[in-house]
Structure formats: C-alpha cells, structure tokens
C-alpha cells in the first residue's frame, strides 16, 4: 500500500474553512437520508407489529427533530459559516454526531422485540447501513466518525447482552466487530480525505504562487521589450557613426596590414549591426510597436525587386534564382511582406548547402492564395522543422558563423506573418529541398485582370521549357 504523506497537525485557516464548507454542504443529503430511512423502517415495523406503533412514532419524531436541525444548519450556514468556525468541530459536529447516533442505537434497543426475529433483522440491517453511512459521510473529522459509530452500536451491544440467548449474543459479538472495523476504516478514510484536502490546498497555493510569478515575469518582459523598442533609435545611432568612421579611416589608411585590420573591424561592425537590427526588430514586434499599413501591393513588382536584390548573391554560390510572373495584387503591408520574403530568400541562399535552384511564386489554394519559395537544397530533418522558427536557433552552425546569420531571421518571419494575419508553413525532405508556404487569406486578395499562367522570369531562358529538377511543376501551371 502506498504510504500517505505526513499531514500537518494544525491545519491552516483556509483548510479549516474548506472542511466546514464540505461538512455543511453534506447536511442536506444526511437529513434526507435519515428521514427516508427512518420512515421506511417505521412502516416496516408497524406493519410487522401494531403494538410498536406508539414507540415507533415517538422515535420517528426524534429523527424528524434531528433532521430538521441538520436542514436548518445547512440553510443557515451553507454560504456563511464564519460565525460558527470557532465551535464547529467540538461544539457542533461532535454533539450532533453523538445525539443522532444515539437516536439510532437507542431506537434499536427500544424497538427490538425478542420474539419477533423479522423486526430484529430489519433493525440490525438498518443499524449496519447507518454505521456505514457515518463512516462514509463524516470523514473530515475522525472524532465525529468514531463518536457516531460507537453511539449507534454501544446501545445495540448492551441491549443484546441483556436480552441474552444465542441469537442476541451473536448480534452483540457482530456489533462489537462491526464497531471496531467501522472505527478503523473511518480513521483510514479520514486520513485519505485529509490528505486529498491538504494536497488540493497545496496545489492551489502553488498555483497562486505560479500565477503571481508569471505575472511578474510577463510585466518584466513587457517592460524590457518596451524599453528596448523605445531605445531603438538611440541604439542605432552609434552603429551608424561607426560606419561613418570606418569610411573616414578607409580613406586615410593606405598600409595593407592596416587595411586588413580595418576590413576585419568593418566585418565585425556589420555582424554587430545585423544582430542589433534583428534584436530591435524582435523587441518592436513583441512590444506591438510595429503597426501595419495595408495598401495594394503588386506582387510582380515585388518579385522583380527581390530577384534584382538576390540574384547576384545567389550566383556567387552557384545558386539560380527564379520567380514566376503574376498579375495578382494583395491588400497588405508592402514593407512587412517584403521583409518576410527577403528573409525567406536570404535563408534559402545561406542554407542551400550545395549548388541548386530557388523558385519564388504564388498560386491558388482553395479560395485563398499561397506564396511559395522552393529550393532543391539539403532540406531540413523532420525533428528540426519546428525548431528553426525559434529565436537564435541555427541548423548546422555549431561554430556560430555570422556569415550564416544570427538565428533570428525565421523567428522574425514567424512574428511578421502573424502580424499580417497569414500562416507560415514548411514542408521539407532531406536531400530533396524545402518548401516555405505563406497562406494568404482571401480577405486581403485583390485581383487586377484575369488569372493568367505566365512563364517564369529568370536569367535562365530554358526554365519555362525545362523546370528545375525537384521543383513542383504545379507551381508553374496554376499561377494567379
């Protein structure tokens, strides 16, 4: 059996209130159970022996009296028990348990008819049910449980011994064993219930503490983000001054060694500026400082600008960049959409891992549109595909080579897509390539002209007739 943890001997105020509330809420059910059981027993005894009518009615009146007290206590204190909390356990619960238990036990002694075995059977079965009811319904205070059990069974034991005879000696022995078992079981049940209540109180205390800590952390995080976002201009100024001084130094330093050092300094400042820009972008996004300014965006013009910006960079790494022309317009923030696609293209170029091709285009997806960037590079393993959107996480860059970025690009992309109300998804197969998809809801779609499938625009004129290997040809045939 699993050993229960130690229960403190002095419960807290909240715990005591919980016990009182649970006990009072049980008074209504207990009163109904007493009334119904007493009425059924009274009907059975009177039908068996009419001579018991007077005794039964007097006993039934006592039961009704105690039940009315329980109902009154339930009605009076179920919502406000503070006035009785100082006397509840020993001034209310214990006397009630003693008196109601004695009413059942003395009732058995008064109503028993030695020559009527059937009535003895009914009375004994009822007493057993009452004892079990005490054990189950009063587990919050072990003294109350034991008092109720003994108040029920001691009169039965004494009366059975006084009546004598094999049957009643057997009843006395059975009642004694039942009393011992009931008390032991009641103590165990009390221990279990108390442990549950203490555990619930402890869980609530920990939950309150956790909630308080969470609020403090969120407050600190918001304050940090707000300060960083507000100070972005002041932080960028020193970097701009450094770039200016680097230009002045480049004009004055003619020695090759000095030029080498200056180049290293310049590269370091570029890396620092890149990291700072990314951090400030994240801070501004987290602080909600970036407000979108939706306007019509001609995707074809945006694709052409991206191609002109990244085609030469891709060429230096033996990567061919292509885009598919489109007449589609979107009603969204052009600056943020440009940043999203720029980051995705920059990420694809840096992490291709081998010569290959990259394709940018848009196509229909149900009633919505889907911007897609395909590459046939090394791909991303399944277990890494969610982590790449985490801040500062970089795949295959344990040495933290700054030429591969700082690990914030895709994290920023994810925040920006949420800001624009779009959904970013990734499908990738190792050694086959990656497919980044930006699902654009129909509400931000504008149409100019009719949807037309156009040929890809690329410096490789053979692409339209011979699409890049491992790139989905469907993207070339369903462009809007």
Interstrand relation of 445-447 and 328-332 (parallel, antiparallel or unpaired): antiparallel
Average pLDDT of 399-425?
A: 73
pLDDT of 89: 72
**Looking at the DSSP assignment, which residues form a beta bridge with residue 433?**
429
Q: What angle do helix axes 142-163 and 166-230 make, rounded to 10 degrees?
A: 170
Contacts of 10 (CB under 8 A, 6+ apart): none
Please answer whether residues 341 and 306 qualify as being in contact, where contact means their C-beta atoms are separated by less than 8 angstroms.
Answer: yes
Contacts of 198 (CB under 8 A, 6+ apart): 7, 8, 11, 15
Residue 347: name the closest of 300, 289, 412 by CA. Answer: 412
Determine which of 69-73, 375-379, 439-443 has the lowest per-residue pLDDT on average: 439-443
Cα–Cα distance measured from residue 35 to residue 67, given in angstroms and rounded to the nearest whole number: 7
pLDDT of 455: 39
Average pLDDT of 288-296?
A: 77
pLDDT of 480: 38
pLDDT of 25: 79
Which CATH number is associated with domain 295-477? 3.30.565.10
224 against 72, higher pLDDT: 72
Question: Is the pLDDT assigned to residue 205 strictly greater than 60?
Answer: yes
pLDDT of 283: 63
Instruction: Classify residue 101 as exposed, middle or buried by CB count within 10 Å of its CB (0-12, 13-18, 19+).
Output: buried
Q: What angle do helix axes 13-25 and 27-48 make, rounded to 10 degrees?
A: 30
pTM over 0.75: no
pLDDT of 274: 64
Interstrand relation of 456-457 and 423-429 (parallel, antiparallel or unpaired): unpaired
Cα–Cα distance measured from residue 149 to residue 381, given in angstroms and rounded to the nearest whole number: 67
Cα–Cα distance measured from residue 119 to residue 448, given in angstroms and rounded to the nearest whole number: 95
Residue 379 φ/ψ region, left for φ over 0, alpha for ψ in the -120 to 50 degree band, beta for the rest: left
- Report the alpha-carbon angle 61-67-73, nearest 5: 140
pLDDT of 391: 64
Interstrand relation of 423-429 and 433-440 (parallel, antiparallel or unpaired): antiparallel
Question: Is the pLDDT assigned to residue 61 strictly greater than 50?
Answer: yes
Contacts of 225 (CB under 8 A, 6+ apart): 283, 286, 287
475 against 297, higher pLDDT: 297
165-189: pLDDT as tens digits: 888 899 899 989 988 988 888 888 8
Place of tokens 């009518």: 53
Determine which of 2-16, 316-330, 353-367 has the lowest per-residue pLDDT on average: 2-16
Question: Is the pLDDT assigned to residue 298 strictly greater than 70?
Answer: yes
Q: What angle do helix axes 166-230 and 232-252 make, rounded to 10 degrees?
A: 40
305-346: pLDDT as tens digits: 999 999 998 998 889 999 998 888 888 888 889 988 988 998
pLDDT of 394: 64
pLDDT of 7: 44
Going across the sheet that includes 445-447, the strands are: 295-298, 328-332, 445-447
Cα–Cα distance measured from residue 407 to residue 390, given in angstroms and rounded to the nearest whole number: 8
From residue 284, give the alpha-carbon distance in Å to each of 147, 290, 334.
68, 6, 18
Question: Is the pLDDT assigned to residue 29 strictly greater than 50?
Answer: yes
Domain boundaries, given as residue ranges, for the chain = 13-208, 232-286, 295-477
Express as a percent the part of the chain with pLDDT over 90.
8
223-276: pLDDT as tens digits: 666 666 556 656 667 767 777 777 777 777 777 777 777 777 777 777 666 666
Question: Is the pLDDT assigned to residue 472 strictly greater than 70?
Answer: no
pLDDT of 459: 39
């Amino acid at each position: 059996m699993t050993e229960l943890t130690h229960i403190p001997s002095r419960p807290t105020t909240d715990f005591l209130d919980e016990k009182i509330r649970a006990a009072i809420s049980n008074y209504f059910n207990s009163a109904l159970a007493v009334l119904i059981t007493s009425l059924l027993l009274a009907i059975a005894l009177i039908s068996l022996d009419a001579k018991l009518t007077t005794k039964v009615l007097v006993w039934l009146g006592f039961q009704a009296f105690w039940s009315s007290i329980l109902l009154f206590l339930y009605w009076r204190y179920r919502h406000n028990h503070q006035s009785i909390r100082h006397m509840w356990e020993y001034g209310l619960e214990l006397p009630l348990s003693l008196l109601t238990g004695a009413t059942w036990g003395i009732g058995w002694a008064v109503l028993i008819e030695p020559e009527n075995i059937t009535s003895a059977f009914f009375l004994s079965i009822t007493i057993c049910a009452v004892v079990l009811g005490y054990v189950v319904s009063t587990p919050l205070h072990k003294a109350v449980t034991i008092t109720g059990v003994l108040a029920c069974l001691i009169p039965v034991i004494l009366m059975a011994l006084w009546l004598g005879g094999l049957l009643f000696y057997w009843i006395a022995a059975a009642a004694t064993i039942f009393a011992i078992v009931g008390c032991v079981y009641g103590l165990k049940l009390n221990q279990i219930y108390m442990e549950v209540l203490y555990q619930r109180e402890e869980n609530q205390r920990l939950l309150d503490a956790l909630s308080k800590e969470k609020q403090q952390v969120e407050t600190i995080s918001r304050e940090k983000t707000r300060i960083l976002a507000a100070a972005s201009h002041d932080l960028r100024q020193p970097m701009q001054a450094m770039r200016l001084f680097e230009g002045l130094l480049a004009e004055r330093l003619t020695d090759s060694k000095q030029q080498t050092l200056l180049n290293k300094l310049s590269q370091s400042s570029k890396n620092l500026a890149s990291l700072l820009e990314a951090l400030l972008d994240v801070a501004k996004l987290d602080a909600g400082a970036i407000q979108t300014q939706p306007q019509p965006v001609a995707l074809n013009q945006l694709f052409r600008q991206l191609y002109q910006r990244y085609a030469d960079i891709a060429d230096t790494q033996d990567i061919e960049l292509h885009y598919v022309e489109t007449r589609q317009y979107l009603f969204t923030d052009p600056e943020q959409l440009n940043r999203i696609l720029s980051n995705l293209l920059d990420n694809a170029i840096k992490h291709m891992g081998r010569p290959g091709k990259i394709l940018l285009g848009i196509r229909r997806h149900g009633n919505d549109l889907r911007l897609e960037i395909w590459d046939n590079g090394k791909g991303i393993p399944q277990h890494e595909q969610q982590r790449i959107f985490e801040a500062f996480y970089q795949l295959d860059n344990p040495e933290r080579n700054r030429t591969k970025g700082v690990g914030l690009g895709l994290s920023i992309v994810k925040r920006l897509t949420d800001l624009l109300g779009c959904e970013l998804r990734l499908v990738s197969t190792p050694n086959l390539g990656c497919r980044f998809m930006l699902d654009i809801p129909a509400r931000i779609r504008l149409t100019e002209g009719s949807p037309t499938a156009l040929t890809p625009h690329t410096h490789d004129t053979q692409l339209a007739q011979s699409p890049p290997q491992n790139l989905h040809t469907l993207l070339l045939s369903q462009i809007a």
